Amino acid sequence: MSAVPKNPPSASRSTADWQAADAAHYLHPFTDFQALARKGSRIITRADNIYLWDSDGHKILDAMSGLWCVNVGYGQQALIDAATAQLAQLPFYNSFFQTTTPPAIELAELLAEVAPPQFEHVFFCNSGSEGNDTVVRMVRRYWDLLGQPERSVIVSRHNAYHGSTMAGASLGGMSGMHAQGGLPIPGIVHIEQPYWFEHGKGMSRDDFGLVAAGWLEAKIQELGADKVAAFIGEPVQGAGGVIVPPATYWPEIQRICDKYGILLVSDEVITGFGRTGRWFGCETFGFKPDLMTFAKGVTSGYIPLGGVMVGERIAKVLIGQGGEFNHGYTYSGHPVACAVALANIRLIQRERLVERVRDDTGPYLAECYAALAEHPLVGEAQTCGLMGALLLLKGKASGEAFPAAAEVGMVCRGHCFAEGVIMRAVGDRMIIAPPLVITRAQIDEMVALIRRCLDKTLADVRRRGLL
Ligand code: PXG
């Protein structure tokens, strides 16, 4: 008799039963536990391609790729087979003590191939947060080895998201996170984000990009260049609301970092692996980082894996000067995660998904969003590759926002769930990042659902006298 039951008991549990057990035992991330227990979780039970099904059998178009990660969509047999084969062959061995495994080596090799040319080396972690913790330690180790230990401050930006560990949340610029747990840790400072709508009105976008980059130079001058180790940013801020910077911003950031010899770190956890229509966001925006954090799309979220691509400027010192780098995780280079990443990246290559986003689906989404910009609720519609944002405004022409307490974004999000499409609300910015396998016909389907949700939200705000 098989040890594995054909119908595990879980298959027969009702939604209410799941919700009760969930409320009794499971503390979810970034959640008001009491409020969720009252309301009950949504239980997702299966998925295929770009669609999810919940425990009541409702079909939902996943316009957020899980959590910005399922780039190749759900149900890809090549990834499932790679995991299964590796589990059977060698489910685990570590990369400590002068040892490693073939999948970790092959993935390092393949990442060096798809990453920009300055990257020949990689350090593996399990998540984006751990990747950014590694960045902090590696940046400081680099300056220590060069005999400049006082060069330790890392400059980041308000409203950035770099993870939820102590260093990740400190690098991030989310005030709600800093308020809990005494963050940021010492040696991390923040400048304002390049969000034209909030900080640049009255200027052209290109002029504003130069002004926003100039805030980095002002901060360097305030601190003293000999104290500043690195600047970190997401090419496009994801969790902050899909804030697409002006085209002038990143080249100017690069010029400033070069001028003062400061390391440039691109957090590619969301923008990596094709999301912006290039393999990495830094290629879309024209800059050349010294370090790149990645996670999410490297395995399309099928299994946890993250890491840091290490540019030659840093690798030369870390390797060339010798000495042990006292950092690493049990699961650094986990063979199953690496095997899935290999299958995932090869699938992206085989299906030419990056080129498809660049030449076909990305431009098509941009066209559809230009049409949505005409909707009476939409004050700004932006896309970059397969990321998109719609800013819901009270004053379409004046730029006036709805009162925050009206929670118009959350109202819209409620309609999205009811209509069968997942969008995220960041304040009143409605954001999407659908799987890169989405077709034009599926983009039409997604945009029609979004339009219906905007219409319903418009009816609500009119009924409530907000417009
Ligand atoms: N950097 C960036 C740019 C991210 O978007 C992380 C680091 C941290 O990765 P891990 O794997 O440690 O979660 C992220 C994660 C949201 C949301 O609400 C976004 C993320 C995570 C959770 C929620 O948009 N991004």
User: pLDDT tens, 141-192?
Assistant: 999 999 999 999 999 999 999 999 999 999 999 999 999 999 999 999 999 9
Average pLDDT of span 5-15: 70
Whether 133 lines ligand 1, by a CB cut-off of 6 Å, is: no
Residue after which a domain boundary falls, among 325, 350, 375: 350
User: Is the preceding peptide bond at 184 cis, omega within 30 degrees of 0?
Assistant: yes
pLDDT for residue 1: 42
User: pLDDT tens, 255-298?
Assistant: 999 999 999 999 999 999 999 999 999 999 999 999 999 999 99
What is the rounded CA–CA span in Å between residue 68 and residue 295? 10
Provide, rounded to the nearest whole percent, the portion of the chain with pLDDT above 70.
Answer: 98
CATH number of the CATH domain containing 368: 3.90.1150.10
How large is the C-alpha radius of gyration of the chain? 23
pLDDT for residue 11: 67
6: confidence class by pLDDT, cuts 50, 70, 90: low
Whether 250 lines ligand 1, by a CB cut-off of 6 Å, is: no
Average pLDDT of span 297-306: 98
Q: Say if residue 216 is in the same domain as residue 122.
A: yes
User: pLDDT tens, 404-419?
Assistant: 999 999 999 999 999 9
Token representation of residue 7: 């119908």
414 Cβ neighbours under 8 A, 6+ residues apart: none
Q: Say if residue 297 is in the same domain as residue 190.
A: yes
Whether 174 lines ligand 1, by a CB cut-off of 6 Å, is: no
At residue 462's C-alpha, the angle toward residues 458 and 465, to 5°, is: 145
What is the rounded CA–CA span in Å between residue 160 and residue 162? 6
> Which residue is associated with the tokens 């659902």?
449
Candidates 303, 311, 310, 309; CA nearest to 331 is: 303
Q: Say if residue 266 is in the same domain as residue 393.
A: no
201: confidence class by pLDDT, cuts 50, 70, 90: confident
- Cα of 219 vs centre of ligand 1, distance in Å, is 26
Q: What number of CA atoms fall less than 13 Å from residue 323's CA on the CB side? A: 13
% helix / strand / coil in the chain, to the nearest 5? 45, 15, 40
- Cα of 221 vs centre of ligand 1, distance in Å, is 31
Residue after which a domain boundary falls, among 300, 334, 350: 350
5: confidence class by pLDDT, cuts 50, 70, 90: low
Is 20 part of any domain? no
- Cα of 65 vs centre of ligand 1, distance in Å, is 13
Contact 321, 312 (CB under 8 A): no
Residue after which a domain boundary falls, among 323, 350, 377: 350
> Which residue is associated with the tokens 């610029």?
173
- Cα of 461 vs centre of ligand 1, distance in Å, is 31
Total-model pTM: 0.97
What is the rounded CA–CA span in Å between residue 43 and residue 56? 8
Question: Which one-letter amino acid corresponds to residue 457?
Answer: T
26 Cβ neighbours under 8 A, 6+ residues apart: none
For residue 361, give the DSSP letter: I
Candidates 238, 284, 235; CA nearest to 264 is: 235
Q: Say if residue 398 is in the same domain as residue 339.
A: no
Give all strands (DSSP E) within 14-113, no chain letters: 44-48, 51-54, 59-61
Q: Say if residue 239 is in the same domain as residue 289.
A: yes
- pLDDT greater at residue 94 or residue 5: 94
Q: Say if residue 359 is in the same domain as residue 322.
A: no
Q: What number of CA atoms fall less than 13 Å from residue 205's CA on the CB side? A: 11
Token representation of residue 260: 């003062």
Is 235 part of any domain? yes
Whether 173 lines ligand 1, by a CB cut-off of 6 Å, is: no
Is 269 part of any domain? yes
pLDDT of residue 460 exceeding 80, the answer is yes
Helix (H) or strand (E) holding 48: strand 44-48
- Site to probe by mutation for ligand 1, drawn from 68, 171, 242 as the one with most ligand atoms within 8 Å of Cβ, is 68
What is the rounded CA–CA span in Å between residue 207 and residue 199? 12
User: pLDDT tens, 207-264?
Assistant: 999 999 999 999 999 999 999 999 999 999 999 999 999 999 999 999 999 999 999 9
- Cα of 387 vs centre of ligand 1, distance in Å, is 15
Contact 103, 339 (CB under 8 A): yes
Q: How many domains does the chain have?
A: 2
- Cα of 295 vs centre of ligand 1, distance in Å, is 9
pLDDT of residue 62 exceeding 80, the answer is yes
Is 326 part of any domain? yes
Atom 1 (ligand 1) nearest CA: 162
Token representation of residue 219: 């901060």
Average pLDDT of span 382-395: 98
Is 201 part of any domain? yes
CATH number of the CATH domain containing 177: 3.40.640.10
Chain centroid offset of residue 235 CA: 10
pLDDT of residue 22 exceeding 70, the answer is yes
Secondary structure (3-state) at 2:
coil
Q: Say if residue 343 is in the same domain as residue 442.
A: no
Is 92 part of any domain? yes
Atom 24 (ligand 1) nearest CA: 239
Whether 217 lines ligand 1, by a CB cut-off of 6 Å, is: no
Question: Which one-letter amino acid corresponds to residue 86?
Answer: Q
Whether 268 lines ligand 1, by a CB cut-off of 6 Å, is: no
Give start and end residues of each alpha helix (H) in 331-392: 335-350, 353-356, 362-372
322: confidence class by pLDDT, cuts 50, 70, 90: confident
Q: Say if residue 388 is in the same domain as residue 325.
A: no
Q: Say if residue 161 is in the same domain as residue 177.
A: yes
Domain limits for position 422: 42-72+352-463
Q: Cβ of 226: how many Cβ atoms within 10 Å? A: 11
Whether 177 lines ligand 1, by a CB cut-off of 6 Å, is: no
pLDDT for residue 137: 98
Is 3 part of any domain? no
Q: Say if residue 199 is in the same domain as residue 57.
A: no
Is 2 part of any domain? no
- Site to probe by mutation for ligand 1, drawn from 62, 67, 275 as the one with most ligand atoms within 8 Å of Cβ, is 67
- Cα of 208 vs centre of ligand 1, distance in Å, is 27
Average pLDDT of span 339-362: 98
What is the rounded CA–CA span in Å between residue 272 and residue 297? 7
Chain centroid offset of residue 121 CA: 22
Candidates 381, 395, 390; CA nearest to 425 is: 390
pLDDT of residue 305 exceeding 70, the answer is yes
Q: Say if residue 379 is in the same domain as residue 458.
A: yes
**Mean pLDDT over each residue of the chain, to the nearest integer:** 96
Atom 18 (ligand 1) nearest CA: 239
pLDDT for residue 2: 45
> What backbone phi and psi angles, to 5 degrees, belong to 122?
-140, 145
9: confidence class by pLDDT, cuts 50, 70, 90: low
Q: Say if residue 386 is in the same domain as residue 376.
A: yes
